[in-house]
Homo-oligomer: A and B are copies of this chain.
Amino acid sequence: MFNIDLQSRIPVWEQIVKMIEKYIQLGILSPGDKLPSVRELTQQIGINPNTVQKAMNDLSMRGIIISVSGRGSFVSRDARAVLLEKAEKRLPELSTLISELLVSGVSVDEIKKTVQEAVEKTEE
């Protein structure tokens, strides 16, 4: 369930954050659902509790999950809204990436084809 790459330049705690966000976006985790506990995730991923805790803390501070001491962590009501808002803010990244590719000599056709394929593949 969790594919963590310890060699990646992306910190492990961020990878955990991304994974959980993805599960929420895909509807595998819905608002109100209980997340696995820090200890469970620790065992599943085979990693230190503090690293998991850091991921949970980040999600909690951004209002994506709500952590209740002694009870567990739960997907917040507006988790998806928060994630959508975050994604909207990433649209400039898309602009930048496309500019860079074009300037490097990648053709418009190639870019549009890649975009189209990504859209189709995701919508399945």
Indicate how many identical chains form the complex.
4
A115 / chain B contacts, CB cutoff of 8 Å = 94, 98, 111-112, 115
Residues of chain A at interface, number, CB under 8 A = 45
A interface with B by C-beta (< 8 Å): 6-7, 9, 22, 25-26, 61, 66, 68-69, 71, 80, 83-84, 86-88, 90-91, 93-106, 108, 110-112, 114-115, 117-119, 121-123
- Tell me the dominant secondary structure on chain A's binding face: helix
Q: Is there contact, CB below 8 Å, between A118 and B104?
A: no
Contact of A118 among B9, B66, B71, B99 (CB under 8 A): B99
Decide: B99 and A122 in contact? CB cutoff 8 A. Answer: yes
In Å, the complex CA distance between A117 and B108 comes to 12
Task: Choose one: B68, B93, B123; the contact of A7 (CB below 8 Å).
Answer: B68
CB of B87 within 8 A of CB of A104, answer yes
Are A122 and B103 in contact, with the CB atoms below 8 A? yes
Give the most central of A95, A98, A104, A117: most B CB within 10 Å: A104
8 Å CB contact of A106 from B91, B105, B111, B118: B91
Alpha-carbon distance between A7 and B60 when the two chains are bound, in angstroms: 12
